[in-house]
């Protein structure tokens, strides 16, 4: 339950191919992403950092923030996102619970440029028994070079 929910916001908070993807172009190359997630009633979660190589064809902010479209489809997730104004992505993600993982509702607002981003995400995870956990993530990333 916790690992998928955290990956949604943290490991880079669910990419969907669609209209928003064309609007959130970033520079291809090696990116370093950082996430600090806190969940109510859960032991402190260590901050995460990872490096991701984005090729030109996949150089969209969503590729850094969200699980792959295949993973989202596997979990029955629905993604909506788009630019509210230049350089600001607002997105929502909803995934139903199943026997293995909790369902999630996530919202994020990310300010970005071609070479960096930062923002906040809010998440609510709910399992089939109705147990709810709320959390938030501070997200950031920057392009660190070529790959």
Percent residues over pLDDT 70 in the chain = 84
Whether 38 contacts 44, CB under 8 Å: yes
Domain span at residue 37? 2-145
* Beta pairing class for 48-54 and 29-39: antiparallel
What pLDDT, on the 0 to 100 scale, is given for residue 33? 97
Global pTM? 0.78
Of residues 139, 1, 11, the one with CA closest to residue 67: 11
Token pair of 78 as six digits: 């629905």
Q: Is 72 helix (H, G, I), strand (E, B) or coil?
A: helix
Distance separating alpha carbons of residues 87 and 115, to the nearest angstrom: 11
Whether pLDDT at 20 is above 70 = no
Residue-averaged pLDDT of the chain: 83
Return phi, psi of residue 45, to 5°: -100, 125
Where is mean pLDDT largest: 22-26, 52-56, 73-77, 96-100?
A: 52-56
- Please check the confidence at residue 128 and state whether its pLDDT lies above 90: no
Question: Helix, strand, coil % (nearest 5) of the chain?
Answer: 20, 50, 35
CA-only gyration radius of the chain, Å: 14
* Total domains present in the chain: 1
């Amino acid at each position: 339950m916790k690992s998928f929910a955290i990956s949604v916001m943290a490991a880079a908070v669910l990419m969907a191919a669609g209209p928003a993807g064309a609007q959130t172009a970033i520079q291809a190359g090696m990116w370093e992403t950082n996430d600090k997630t806190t969940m109510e009633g859960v032991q402190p979660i260590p901050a995460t950092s990872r490096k991701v190589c984005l090729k030109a064809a996949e150089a969209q902010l969503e590729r850094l923030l969200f699980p792959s479209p295949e993973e989202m489809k596997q979990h029955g997730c629905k993604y909506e996102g788009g630019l509210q104004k230049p350089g600001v992505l607002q997105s929502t993600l909803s995934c139903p619970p199943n026997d293995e993982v909790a369902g999630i509702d996530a919202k994020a607002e990310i300010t970005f440029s071609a070479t960096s981003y930062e923002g906040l995400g809010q998440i609510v995870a709910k399992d089939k028994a109705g147990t709810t956990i709320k959390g938030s993530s501070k997200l950031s990333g920057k392009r660190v070079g070529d790959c």
